[in-house]
Amino acid sequence: MASTTAPSRNGPAGRQDTQPPHAHPSGPSVWRSRLHRWDTKGTPYALVAPFFLVFAAFGLFPLLYTGWLSFHRVSLYNVDRAEWVGLRNYADLFTGQVSHYFWNALLNTFTLGVLSTVPQLLMALGLAHLLNYRLRARGFLRTALLAPYATSVAAATLVFALIFSPEGGMANWFLGLFGAGPVHWEAGRWSSQFAISVIVTWRWTGYNALIYLAAMQAVPRELYEAATLDGANRWQQFLHVTVPALRPTILFTVIVSTIGATQLFGEPYLFGGQSGHQGGTDHQYETLGILMYDQGFHSSMLGRASAVAWIMFGLLLLIGLVNALITRRLRATQ
């Protein structure tokens, strides 16, 4: 006679589960769990490791080696024989025999930065505002903005050197239409810096305009519709809707352009021709980058050139610190 047994929580009658309900897994399941955990935590580090290895080899090591060289007197042609001089290279730059060239280069870097950055960003903002409207051939115009950025520094500087040439240059021809006399653009301090800033502005305005345009397209249309209902015209919408919405982007472009101005080298070097390695015959547009090149490759003072490089690095850190402080302040006010 068959008998039935009522089921219990532990299974059929006569069978006892010896494993507690919250026991830890063992055997292959443990290894699978560990491999999953290692994969989850370790894979991101493994993927980014090649970048940091390359950066350590080609970025961090040259930076530290340059810092070591800045405390030595060393020739470019005999790097193995370095003589420890402590802070003498920095003292030479600040108060020594080449201090005049250093302070002149620092001032030129600042003035060239202002002359090229301010007009460049203002024109980029205006171009982006115009291209944000529905225009014919809008795609072509946006693409054409990148053409100067895609042009090499050498080609652009060669063209502008011809434009600002004292002998038949287009700039002097244009001034002649208004009765102004010819200008020797490369010889004067302000005229040469104006010509170089035109080259920099021409190359980078379109690039910044596209950054502003991308940020403008992210501004909610409801804000413009509300401004239109309030009676605001195009200019008032630009001032009170577009510019406040683009404030973080404007800050980003200002910082990036300032960093670029601090490292300015190609345009003044190529604009000067044979005297480009010293920023003109009278150092009238010598920047910190030009001074570093001149000290390292023409004067063979590699230690002093390394000191200039580290001063430029300190300026970049200072700019980054100012950027962080302003960004924190902007976030606090929002």
The pLDDT score that the predictor gives to residue 276 is 85
| Model confidence band, residue 23 (pLDDT cutoffs 50, 70, 90) | low
Type of residue numbered 234: R
Pairwise CA distance, residues 157 & 196, whole Å: 8
**Would you say 127 and 205 are in contact if contact means Cβ atoms under 8 Å apart?**
yes
DSSP 219-285: S-HHHHHHHHHTT--HHHHIIIIIHHHTHHHHHHHHHHHHHHHHT--HHHHHHTGGGGGGTSTT-TT
H/E element holding 48? helix 28-55
Beta strands in the chain (DSSP E): 72-75, 78-84
Handedness of CA 256, 262, 266, 271 (dihedral sign): positive
Pairwise CA distance, residues 327 & 334, whole Å: 11
pLDDT digits (tens, 9 = 90+) for 30-59: 888 888 888 888 888 888 999 999 999 999
pLDDT(76) > 90: no
pLDDT digits (tens, 9 = 90+) for 194-232: 999 999 999 999 999 999 999 999 888 888 889 888 888
Residue with tokens 């200008």: 183
What are φ and ψ of residue 79, in 5° steps? Answer: -70, -25
Q: pTM of the entire structure?
A: 0.81
Comparing 134-138, 144-148, 233-237, 265-269, the range with the smallest average pLDDT is: 134-138
The length of the chain in residues reads: 334
CA atoms within 13 A on the CB side of 112: 33
Read off the tokens for 120.
């460049």
pLDDT digits (tens, 9 = 90+) for 140-197: 888 888 889 888 999 999 999 999 998 888 999 999 998 887 899 988 999 999 999 9
The pLDDT score that the predictor gives to residue 167 is 83
| Model confidence band, residue 12 (pLDDT cutoffs 50, 70, 90) | very low
Number of continuous H segments (helices) and E segments (strands) in the chain: 16, 2
| Model confidence band, residue 22 (pLDDT cutoffs 50, 70, 90) | low
In percent, how much of the chain has pLDDT > 90? 47
Quickly count: other Cβ atoms within 10 Å of residue 15's Cβ: 8
pLDDT digits (tens, 9 = 90+) for 245-300: 898 899 889 989 988 999 899 999 999 888 888 888 899 999 999 999 999 999 99
- For residue 84, what are the β-bridge partners? 72
Query: What region does 72 belong to: left with phi over 0, alpha with psi -120 to 50, or beta?
Result: beta
pLDDT(1) > 50: no
Q: What is the mean pLDDT of the chain?
A: 86
Using CB atoms within 10 A of its CB, is residue 113 exposed (0-12), middle (13-18) or buried (19+)? buried
pLDDT(14) > 70: no
H/E element holding 303? helix 302-333
More confident: 238 or 103: 103
Read off the tokens for 246.
């683009």
| Angle, helix 170-177 to helix 153-163, in steps of 10 degrees | 40
pLDDT digits (tens, 9 = 90+) for 83-124: 999 999 999 999 988 999 999 999 999 999 999 999 999 999
**Would you say 162 and 195 are in contact if contact means Cβ atoms under 8 Å apart?**
no
